[in-house]
Structure 1
């Protein structure tokens, strides 16, 4: 059964028109080519296609011949761009609790952005990735840099301009010129990483935030909870997100996914079957999307790709890839990179 087209608030393109014009682009024409109307920017709450936004950011970066288009777009972002969610976040006692609240409502902002927070002793890792069905081989570099850039801006606004992350990571290869990335994130920057996201000091996120009680948070939370209950949330979507999180290190099985969803394996299979899906086909689709994206946008070795995608060995990954796509990894990578170098 086909999945609904994932959507994102049109506020995700806040500042796009101004940035495009500053880079000598025609923003209205660029948006039309991506299947978007510039009128959608009049209402920040209007849902628009995630796939169209991804295409717009990538094509704009290419047309302007800049590698940091998404990052430039993140420069102007503030907590207020999150809409009603910002009201709730402002009244949380710590940044960590604000993040937990934001992740609860995340699919109201962007249905394809996967965000996961992990605690490791004295650090907290915020992982971000995209699942965009139907765009497996397409780059999400600009969308990812925008997402991580926005997260960085939100943390700076909550914790103050003096706050710095322990590390900022991207799974794609570095740009030719890293100066704008270093100016935005600071020196602790890593490309070709095993994940996309931000590593923070746990003590920073536990620091009490300034008390800001407008009295609006209960009303905003009620509105968000109602919107959340109306949003599409089937078992397949939840399972796809868990598969993406559990794939690295061969940790992804039907039993584990079922356990995370508070059900047994048979119940999981029954729900998936009712939605026209199987666990095997769903995992293959997620694995394929991540594999093609990593091969296209990063410089990972076969061993690194195999581990990231949950294979026991590079040879097992190579066999799966050839059977799945009818060519070797190097042949597929060459076919994708060749048009960009001519």
Structure 2
């Protein structure tokens, strides 16, 4: 939980693809027919253009991008197709593999920096145009949050004013949660958002604090250089903070006509996802877990609701406070089980439990295994996808 300029030990740089022999990987990705409009018709997919600078970054590091891609399940043609879609988990694993093979623990952040130079429209497509031309940063980020599935059906964004803070937190999650292979993808996504805010505000607005649920992979000075902000690790969630007053500043050089055209296009093809009270409750619970004050009454107070009203409204959405709290704990536990340098005692604190025995009982209930068994399985699964015969990537 230390800021980026404090002392912290670096974690294992990740395993990438395991090194067991296997058959040639099945190539995946959905290249689109010439002239076709991009769309996502299944869960867990991401826009191929979001990783369009991958080969340039690899080449810039003096390596062979084609060799890396041949070791992955991703078809090189699909990666280059701006209108195509890729399985998110395959992309996440490719980023981890590249970081490991190239001894480049900040690969995800490097990729984001390279993409930032080409502008939001090139990286994000029509939704990037909409964000760039929104009236204010608040409207830009809210629009991105409501239509993030135009960028990735594996991503989840949510804006929420955190209790006892006053700042706005932009929560970022990838679904499904496979923490062992998501560090580079998460750092890439948050760095990309950081660069996006800097670009559309012409440097007037930035996030003063970044949260990562994992431990640092790169030297702390690298995070300092990329974000120019306080970066905290081992947190209960991933995301960026913004000062509330900054969000209402008008975006310079916006084009109102372009905004109308872009939002009309996106709204028609990727309608906003309705967000009920349960989504807000999830964010507040995630924030309050480690503080030991995550009760039904505390969350209701943060929402200015009577506890019975909160219970009734959640029931109307088919949810309950306890079920959401349990889901959040399960997801947070799953993320941290993939990080060997996060002790079980620390995990117990993050989840708001009083002792490790409660964590053990919960893991048996969620996963039918102990935390230590799960940690071993996560470690093994991180290297489950292995390359075929090796060739030089340099």
Q: What TM-score does the superposition give when structure 1 sets the normalisation length?
A: 0.78
Alignment match, 1:92: 134
Find 2:318's aligned residue among 265, 268, 271: 268
Q: Do structure 1's residue 127 and structure 2's residue 177 form an aligned pair?
A: no
Q: Which runs of 4+ in 1 moved over 6 A?
A: 238-243, 282-286
Q: Displacement of 1:267 after TM fit?
A: 6.9
Secondary structure of the corresponding residue to residue 160 of structure 2: strand
* Native 8 Å contact 1:114 1:241 kept in 2: no
Alignment match, 2:385: none
Distance 1:307 1:265, change over 3 A: farther
Q: Do structure 1's residue 6 and structure 2's residue 44 form an aligned pair?
A: yes
Alignment gaps of 5+ in structure 1: 270-278
Secondary structure of the corresponding residue to residue 85 of structure 1: helix
Q: Any idea what the Cα deviations from partners look like across 1:274-300, whole Å, max 9, x if unmatched?
A: xxxxx97x9978755542321223744
Aligned mates of 1:16, 1:209 — CA distance in 2? 29
* Native 8 Å contact 1:294 1:305 kept in 2: yes
Q: Displacement of 1:214 after TM fit?
A: 5.6
Q: Displacement of 1:338 after TM fit?
A: 9.0
Find 2:96's aligned residue among 50, 58, 77: 58
Find 1:75's aligned residue among 97, 113, 120: 113
Compare the two structures and name the one with the higher helix fraction. 1
Q: Any idea what the Cα deviations from partners look like across 1:233-278, whole Å, max 9, x if unmatched?
A: 799xx999778646533569xxx9xx99x97637738xxxxxxxxx
Distance 1:189 1:283, change over 3 A: closer
Aligned mates of 2:97, 2:278 — CA distance in 1? 28
Aligned length: 319
Distance 1:5 1:31, change over 3 A: farther
Q: Which moved more, 1:42-51 or 1:300-309?
A: 300-309
Q: What TM-score does the superposition give when structure 2 sets the normalisation length?
A: 0.68
Aligned mates of 2:71, 2:208 — CA distance in 1? 39
Q: Which moved more, 1:312-321 or 1:88-97?
A: 312-321
Q: Displacement of 1:116 after TM fit?
A: 1.5
Q: Displacement of 1:98 after TM fit?
A: 0.9
Matches within 5 A, 1:1-342: 4-76=42-114, 77=116, 78-80=119-121, 81-120=123-162, 122-132=166-176, 136=178, 138-161=180-203, 163-175=205-217, 177-213=219-255, 215-229=257-271, 245=283, 248=286, 249=289, 265=315, 268=318, 288-297=330-339, 299-302=341-344, 304-306=346-348, 308-309=350-351, 314-325=356-367, 327-333=369-375
* Native 8 Å contact 2:278 2:317 kept in 1: no
Q: Any idea what the Cα deviations from partners look like across 1:57-109, whole Å, max 9, x if unmatched?
A: 11111111221110110102232222111222233221111111111110111
* Native 8 Å contact 2:134 2:256 kept in 1: no
Distance 1:46 1:197, change over 3 A: same
Distance 1:338 1:240, change over 3 A: same
Alignment gaps of 5+ in structure 2: 1-40, 301-308, 383-394
Alignment match, 1:272: none
Q: Any idea what the Cα deviations from partners look like across 1:177-221, whole Å, max 9, x if unmatched?
A: 222211111251211123211112222222222252262322222
